[in-house]
Structure 1
Amino acid sequence: MLSLELFLVVLAGFGAGTVNAIVGSGTLISFPTLVLLGYPPLLANVSNNLGLVPGSLAGAVGYRRELKGQGTRLRWLVPASLVGGSVGALGLLVLPAAAFDAIVPVLVALSLVLVVVQPRLRERLAGRLVEDRDGRPSTGLIVGVALAGCYGGYFGAAQGILLIALLGSLLTDDLQRLNGTKNVLATVVNAVAAVVFLFGADIDWTAVGLIAVGSTAGGFVGGRYGRLLPPTVLRAFIVVVGVAALIRLLAP
């Protein structure tokens, strides 16, 4: 890699770590950057996933105050994310690379739509909140988190938005506390997928290391200062990068 490319990958990792801690969908910054630099989509996805694990953990640590009192909830939802992430990651390895090349533009496009409609989605779901029963999430939420984990283990972009939509629709709690929950669940999915990839996927360790450095710093920044950043600016940036990636992916 040229020095400029190295810097761009670290910067993309920083942006992804920051955005993941705040709203999710940071993969739409780091994954497209790798694709635009010439990485094959499957290699870019796997290397990006591994690189984002430290950043996801940093974001979860940044929201540790919001996680107080959520032990029972997490004891039910973390296993769901663990199972879902494992299934999604295994699916990525079992399906041929050509299938991923065909599916990923659709996933990127759907993720971009989710980024754009996120504010309105939250508004529509705000009136449908359901309390936990004795601290145990509903069965529907547990299943939904597992399905979101499948998606996250396979690709990951906008996984956080899916999770926050599910949590916001089926739990009665402060949005920042739910964001902390989202960060933990996304970390679990990314980590279990990373373990699966270590045993069965091609990995570019230079990209992994660069994204890890950037995403870790971004995760701490997002966890600490994310509440001060305008979500509209973040969404606009994500959409611009994502559209550029779509053009690159669909180019003959």
Structure 2
Amino acid sequence: MPPELADAARTLFGDRLDLAAAYAELLVTDGVVRGLIGPREAPRIWDRHLLNCAAVAERIPEGATVIDVGSGAGLPGLVLAIARPDLRVTLVEPLARRTAFLIEAVEGLGLTRMVRVFRGRAEAASGGGDVDPFSADVVTARAVAPLDRLALWCLPLTVRGGRILALKGSSVADEIAEHAASVERLGGGEPAVYRCGVDVIDPPTTVVEIVRERVVGPVSKARRAKRRGGRPRGR
């Protein structure tokens, strides 16, 4: 860990900093070898990834259930599980090589009681497949999709009154302006922007929060296919 980030890391991870360091080591070694983290990202694993993700914990209530959609190498879901042992986290990831890494990481870090890994897409986790649907107080996503698609995939995973926390970049205002109407049609409230980790990390993490205000009917296969720009499956 770069010495200049030590104070921020202690603030965000507390007495679980050693566990965070073990995860960081996994990412810069096995994660790079297996293609989950780019080699150029390894030197920035703390500021660009771990601290950036851990800061989001301030928007999550005590004892919440969390689903991390498109978890990849575990960002932000596994980071949140490390930083917040009160959480119960489900990592949702469709790719086999990534879920294999996640399972090994969860077991190696001793997090099997609080973290589970689901191989599949968000649509399947929300009952659109052949599994019992999951639901959570909070659904997180980092660099997964624009807000309209995130709302489509993630709102059905939240309990009513639950929230999506989407980690976003500098163009977030334009994205909200473009997709707020779609979010509302899908049952979400007005997207709100928060800066997490102010006075702890620089720059703070930009998070878009969408509350599930109402439950809407399931989206048909035809409508989902149209939004993806293709044909409905099975036809």
The TM-score normalised by the length of structure 2 is 0.24
Q: Which has the higher contact order (CA 8 A, sep 6+)?
A: 1
Larger relative helix fraction: 1
Larger relative strand fraction: 2
The TM-score normalised by the length of structure 1 is 0.23
